[in-house]
Homo-oligomer: A and B are copies of this chain.
Amino acid sequence: MDSFACPLPPAGDAMVLLGHGGGGSLSQRLIDQLLVPAFGPADGVLHDAAVLPAEAGPLAFTTDSYVVRPLFFPGGDIGSLAVFGTVNDLAMVGASAIALSLSLILEEGLPMHLLQQVLASIRIAAQRCGVPVVTGDTKVVERGKGDGIYINTAGIGRVDHGMQIGPKAVRSGDAILVSGDLGRHGVAILAARQELGFRTELHSDLAPLQEPVRALLAADLELHCLRDLTRGGLASALHEISRGAGLGVLVRENAIPIAPEVDAACELLGLDPLAMANEGRFVLFLPAHQADRALAVLQRFQPSAASIGCVRGEAVLLETSLGLQRRLELGRGESLPRIC
């Protein structure tokens, strides 16, 4: 569990009460004592919506709710996940986050110090990404109608490139790269739930992806498609992109980077590392002649980044280590609930 120094004053309340979501004096105290100190505004005056200055270009817009269990895991917590996850979704269209919203669904009885810790983590993560939390909301549900904290973040991003990054831009012959080794987040969550049956020092790969994407843009590469590898892992991402592009892909099992600890854990549990969740990895499609340059950029951030295959045919295929080709399986998605 990451520990964050908590810069916030004690809330004066030991736990979250239903009234903290009721819009009365308890709500006001929660806002005054925890939310305004963490996220501003400087004058402490909140309004129904934030007003952002005009932007010259197009904007990206995304949302995600986070229900990860447990709230704290090796390498992160629901707070940092809620910031990086949404910042990363913006990065996948080549956008830099300029504003986040933060909406909390708290369960009655949540210890206030856990809420403080999560808010501190959100603040630190947002600072690291250079993005302010500009608007928010808090609701409280009864005991047994939630699970501690659920968080929604929505994000607005600035798009300052002229490309249409997405599945439609993928072309036959494109190279496929991953930004680092796969599956660490899924295994770290299982370990934190003590569902592994053995101990591991493995941490989640949770990380902001703005910087590597900015570096790719700065290198003047023709980015066809980016997709962060969250729920469903690489397998889901390849299937979705293939479907959106109307083109097949072939990836080589030998080329896909998997840490030995992840491989071992998946083997033991009968899970497919290619379907394991990540929170700091993405897949990149671009013209094959730019693959080496792109890989060099990615390896500055993660030495394990790799070129794993290409776009061709119509099916989503995996070339196994024995040289056989088989369809890459897309799980039903039931094996790892609440991974993010």
Chain A residues in the interface with B (C-beta under 8 A): 17-28, 43, 45-67, 88-90, 92-93, 95, 99, 101-105, 134-137, 139-142, 144-147, 150, 152, 154-157, 159, 166-168, 226-228, 230-233, 236, 239-240, 243-244, 275, 277, 330-339
Copies per assembly: 2
Q: Which residue of B lies closest to A235 (CB)?
A: B24
Bound form: Cα–Cα A142–B95 in Å = 34
The distance in angstroms between the C-alpha atoms of A334 and B108, with both chains bound, is 12
- A246 and chain B: residue at smallest CB distance: B45
B contact residues around A18 at 8 Å (CB) = 334, 337
B21 touches A232 (CB 8 A): no
- Which residue from B48, B168, B277 sits with its C-beta under 8 Å from A228? B48
The smallest beta-carbon distance between A316 and chain B, in angstroms, is 12
Query: How far is B136's CA from A236's CA once the two chains are assembled, in angstroms?
Result: 17
Nearest B residue to A147 by beta-carbon distance? B145
Return the chain B residue nearest A104 by Cβ: B65
Task: State the 6 A-B residue pairs at the shortest beta-carbon distance, nearest first.
Answer: A22-B333, A23-B231, A24-B333, A23-B232, A154-B154, A19-B334
- Give CA–CA (A150, B150) in the complex, Å: 10
Question: Can you list 10 A-B pairs with a CB-CB distance of less than 8 A?
Answer: A19-B332, A22-B333, A24-B231, A48-B92, A52-B61, A65-B139, A65-B152, A105-B105, A140-B337, A142-B337
The residue that A49 contacts in the complex, of B90, B142, B243, with Cβ under 8 A, is B90
